[in-house]
Amino acid sequence: MARALLLENPHLNADPVFASAGVEVVRHPGALDEDELIAALDGIDILGIRSTTRVTERVLAAHPGLLAIGAFCIGTNQIDLKAAARRGVAVFNAPFSNTRSVVELAVAEIIALTRRLTVRDKSLHAGVWDKSATGSHEVRGRTLGIVGYGNIGTQLSVVAEALGMRVVFYDTAEKLALGNAQRMGSLAELLAVADIVTLHVDGREGNAGMFTREQFEQMKHGAAFLNLSRGFLVDYAVLREKILDGSVSGAAVDVFPDEPRRTGDAFDSELRGLPNVILTPHVGGSTQEAQENIGHFVSGKLTKYLQAASTDLSVNLPRLSLEPSEAARYRVAFVHRNTPGVLALVNQTFAEHGANIEGQILGTRGEIGYVVTDIGSELPREAVEAVRQMEDTLRLRVMTRPDAD
Ligand SMILES: NC(=O)c1ccc[n+]([C@@H]2O[C@H](COP(=O)([O-])OP(=O)(O)OC[C@H]3O[C@@H](n4cnc5c(N)ncnc54)[C@H](O)[C@@H]3O)[C@@H](O)[C@H]2O)c1
């Protein structure tokens, strides 16, 4: 029976998914350090973590039998993905299970900033009755500029239009405009027309510092600004200056260049204490619904890998979307160095040992190749050993249909 070790409390709905695939689950509530993790992984096939536990090369080297790792979150920086790929360990995450949560927070903040809601709220908590319409607007009819039209940006586009907003977007990739949203030819074009600018680009290296003085100065006077994507994209010292001189009317910021690691840790930012600035501690994707979605999604990917060798949406191995085979007696999942001739050698080896290939699929990703072969006949042990001994083999897994001998 396969065993999964789940750290850092992924949602409990992961457990029945593992159970239905015959996987025994062992849970440990907190994160583990490197040595603790190495000790805890004895006899474990699948590791599930969230953002705190680090899976290093040393951990992977200590457990060559580890099959797969599930990051029950979005980010995978905590895992040495290349080292995992070199050992044929598949890594999965939940790239879009919390999309809706981020969208809902952005919508709430767009309305709150446009209405100066937190300013009114703070005054009243301070015992000051400030009933005035000055500076408060409806979002209906205003222009929302979405920078980064991916999973989050596109959904926000649809919801914002339902609120009566005009949506413009800018994306470096070719993207289908949803509804009446209008694509802008450049970031500068978007900034020239948007009443509210919201960043939803990914955290690729080239995006560091992409929004600085030049971009703030291209914004319409009095426009509002949101960043729920990554902290290192934006120069917050300039944002502070623009809030204080009134050229930016308000801001909502959920992500920071240096974020405290733990709940309760001290936090500082140049944006603290500014009027009409909403600060949240990177909770855009943190809802119970998102945790539930993540628990279900990642456990599903892991069990599909276990049962069918499917690497659909893996973050480090070539992606093959596979179902369990009804007909084949054996499925051979083979991770190897992506060098010419490997596939031919595998097939020659199988043929020499009389193994009949019923189906085969190959995927490559950089230096890594992944071949899954369904065998309908006997699969002699010598054939498996010969492939395992090949120079470019990184990992070989043979799955046997339960009724095959
Ligand atoms: N605050 C949170 O809790 C939270 C939760 C989830 C995701 N996020 C962050 O939100 C962001 C968006 O997530 P997603 O799932 O929509 O990502 P995604 O990869 O689906 O979309 C990102 C889009 O940005 C585009 N892009 C990249 N660089 C660009 C640039 N310089 N200019 C214009 N477009 C650019 C890409 O082409 C892509 O379409 C990510 O940075 C992610 O880390 C934050």
Question: What separation in Å is there between the alpha carbon of 174 and the centre of ligand 1?
Answer: 14
Query: Among all chains, which residue has been given the structure tokens 């990554």?
Result: 230
SS3 105: helix
pLDDT surpasses 60 at 405: no
Q: Has residue 247 got a pLDDT over 90?
A: yes
Structure tokens at 143: 């222009």
- Determine the pLDDT at residue 403: 67
Q: CA-to-CA distance for 259 and 141, rounded, in angstroms?
A: 35
- Eight-class DSSP state of 205: G
Is pLDDT at 370 greater than 90 in this prediction? yes
| Cβ–Cβ under 8 Å, residues 221 and 212 | no
Q: What is the DSSP string of 294-308?
A: HHHHHHHHHHHHHHH
Q: Are 145 and 197 in contact (CB under 8 A)?
A: yes
DSSP 3-state of 204? coil
Helix (H) or strand (E) holding 113: helix 99-115
Q: Decide whether any atom of ligand 1 lies within 6 Å of the 98 Cβ.
A: yes
Angle between helices 99-115 and 151-162 (to 10 degrees): 50
Q: What is the pLDDT of residues 164-182, one digit of tens each?
A: 999 999 999 999 999 999 9
* Token duo for residue 217: 């100065």
> What's the whole-number average pLDDT of the chain?
95
Instruction: Provide DSSP, 7-62.
Output: ES---TTHHHHHHHTTEEEEEESS---HHHHHHHTTT-SEEEE-SS--B-HHHHHH
Contact 60, 66 (CB under 8 A): yes
Asked if 214 and 240 touch (Cβ cutoff 8 Å), the reply is no
pLDDT tens, residue by residue, 89-108: 999 999 999 999 999 999 99
- State in Å: Cα 253 to ligand 1 middle: 15
> Looking at 277-378, which runs of residues are DSSP E strands?
277-279, 330-337, 357-365, 368-375
Residues designated as active site = 230, 259, 282
pLDDT tens for 13-22 read 999 999 999 9
From the list 77, 32, 23, 27, the residue with the least C-alpha distance to 59 is 32
Q: How many C-beta neighbours within 10 Å does residue 82 have?
A: 13
pTM (2 decimals)?
0.86
Evaluate if residue 401 carries a pLDDT over 90.
no
> Could you report the per-residue pLDDT of 132-146, keeping only the tens digit for each?
999 999 999 999 999
Q: Token digits for 91?
A: 């890594």
CA distance 370 to 345: 14
Distance CA 190, CA 145 (A): 6
171 Cβ inside 6 Å of ligand 1: yes
The answer to whether the CB of 235 is under 6 A from ligand 1 is: no
**Ligand 1 centroid to 153 CA: how many Å?**
8
Q: Output the pLDDT for position 404.
A: 61
Percent with pLDDT over 90 in the chain: 92
Q: What are phi and psi of 174, to 5 degrees?
A: -70, 125
Residue with more model confidence, 234 or 402: 234
Instruction: Kindly tell me if the per-residue pLDDT of 194 is higher than 80.
Output: yes
Query: Using an 8 Å Cβ cutoff, are 374 and 328 in contact?
Result: yes
Residue 306 has pLDDT above 60, yes or no: yes
Model confidence at 203: pLDDT above 60: yes
Inform me whether the pLDDT recorded for 214 exceeds 90. Answer: yes
Give me the pLDDT at residue 65, please.
96
Q: What does the CA dihedral 280, 283, 287, 290 come to, rounded to 10 degrees?
A: 150
Looking at ligand 1, which atom is closest to the CA of residue 153? 16
For residue 161 the two structure tokens come to 């239009």
